[in-house]
Structure 1
Amino acid sequence: MRVALHSVLREGQESGYEQVHATVPEDLLAALRRAGITNWRIWRSGRHLFHLVDCEDFAAAMAALDEDPANQRWQEFIGAYVDHFEDTGGSPAEAERMALGEVWELRAQAGAAEPG
């Protein structure tokens, strides 16, 4: 499953946020893996962050992270940079309804149309 999230940075924290994400703590990476997250990508446009999270069960992953001390430390630290997450319906289970299913990709169509 792939879930999209949208968060907003605090005013003036854009470069600081990117600096602290250049290398996140190893214990956080381990916590993400334990929670079943196989990939987490973040893009930034101005103060807006767009996240793609790959995992089997998003609600279970978020519940596990809520209890993980490494993630708790990270959330306390990163809160200085992130103002808020946009509402996904209130809970990780609701966010699962927003799982991304691919509709179309230029490369896939263009590749299929090219003579082989």
Structure 2
Amino acid sequence: MRVALHTRLKPGRESEYEQAHRQVPAELVEAIKKGGAHEWTIWRSGQDLFHVIECDDYEALLSSLADLPVNIAWQARMTEMLEVTHDYSQEGAGKGLPVAWKLPS
């Protein structure tokens, strides 16, 4: 399944955010993959961040990460930089961006 998300940086945190993502903990990367994600890409336009996640089951992915200490630490770090955060709660599984259009096959 493919999920698109939107988060937003706090003004002035762009450089810090980009630096943090050059050093994502290997343990977190491994946990994301183990949780069923095959790809996770983030694009930035000004303060707006757009995520596309390819995974087996988004709800299961969030559940596998929610209580993981390395993810909790990472999310605390991200919360300092973000106005709109990624929601790892059960309700967050339904907060992906709705599809507005898709190129027909």
Fold conserved between structures, TM > 0.5 = yes
Asked whether the 8 Å contact 1:7–1:84 carries over to 2, the reply is: yes
- 1:49–1:97 Cα change, 3 Å: closer
The TM-score normalised by the length of structure 2 is 0.83
Structure 1: 4+ residue segments shifted above 3 A: 95-98
- 1:85–1:74 Cα change, 3 Å: closer
Distance across 2 between alignment mates of 1:17 and 1:51: 14
5+ residue gaps, structure 2: none
* C-alpha RMSD of the superposition: 2.6
In structure 2, the residue matched to 1:34 is 34
Distance across 2 between alignment mates of 1:86 and 1:39: 16
Greater C-alpha Rg = 1
1:32, distance to aligned residue in structure 2 (A): 0.5
Write the deviation string for residues 62-83 of structure 1: whole angstroms up to 9, x where unpaired.
1111021111111111211112
SS of the residue 1:104 aligns to = coil
1:93, distance to aligned residue in structure 2 (A): 3.7
Distance across 2 between alignment mates of 1:14 and 1:43: 12
Distance across 1 between alignment mates of 2:61 and 2:14: 27
Distance across 2 between alignment mates of 1:75 and 1:44: 18
In structure 2, the residue matched to 1:114 is none
Identity among equivalent pairs (%): 37
